[in-house]
Amino acid sequence: MEQAVFESITYAAECGDCGAEVEWCGVQVLDDRSLRWDTEFGCTACGAAMFVCKGELPAELRGRLLAEHGPALLRVDPSARNAAVMRVLRAELGIGLDEVRTVLGGIRAGSHSGTLPEMELLARRLRAAGIDAVAERPQRS
């Protein structure tokens, strides 16, 4: 089993009980099989606490994750066969042939990026298929 990879942010949203604005904590987690998005809060106004597992990560919060932590890049062995890489990408991302060509082009150009857990998931799937791949975050200067 590989190590879990995660990134978290805090953001303001309403308490589900009393409607007060409270600070939520959201975390995108890659466990050994899949990505998930968990959120939680504790309300200082009414004392309610909630933990929501395996929600959908909203695009706006994903944007915050990328802005706060910086995007990670997916690097794939340049000698890996396109067809083999594309097969893994299509299976994992559930996208069509045209889209997967675009993604592959981005990977080959070193510009395909996402959150670290997302890129790590793809890297693991590729490695499981025998293709050298790694997710990494460029050092910010």
Contact flag: residue 13 with Zn ion (CB under 5 A)? no
Contact flag: residue 18 with Zn ion (CB under 5 A)? yes
> Please, are residues 121 and 51 in contact by the beta-carbon 8 Å criterion?
no
Least separation in angstroms between CB 50 and Zn ion: 9
Least separation in angstroms between CB 57 and Zn ion: 23
Q: Tokens for 119?
A: 């890129």
Least separation in angstroms between CB 72 and Zn ion: 35
Contact flag: residue 46 with Zn ion (CB under 5 A)? yes
C-alpha closest to that of 60 among 96, 24, 84, 93? 24
Q: Tokens for 14?
A: 């309403």
Cβ distance to Zn ion smaller for residue 46 or 52: 46
The Cα 94–Cα 71 span in angstroms is 22
Least separation in angstroms between CB 41 and Zn ion: 9
> Please, are residues 127 and 81 in contact by the beta-carbon 8 Å criterion?
no
Cβ distance to Zn ion smaller for residue 18 or 52: 18
137: which DSSP letter?
Answer: P
Site residues for Zn ion per CB under 5 A: 15, 17-18, 20, 43, 45-46, 48
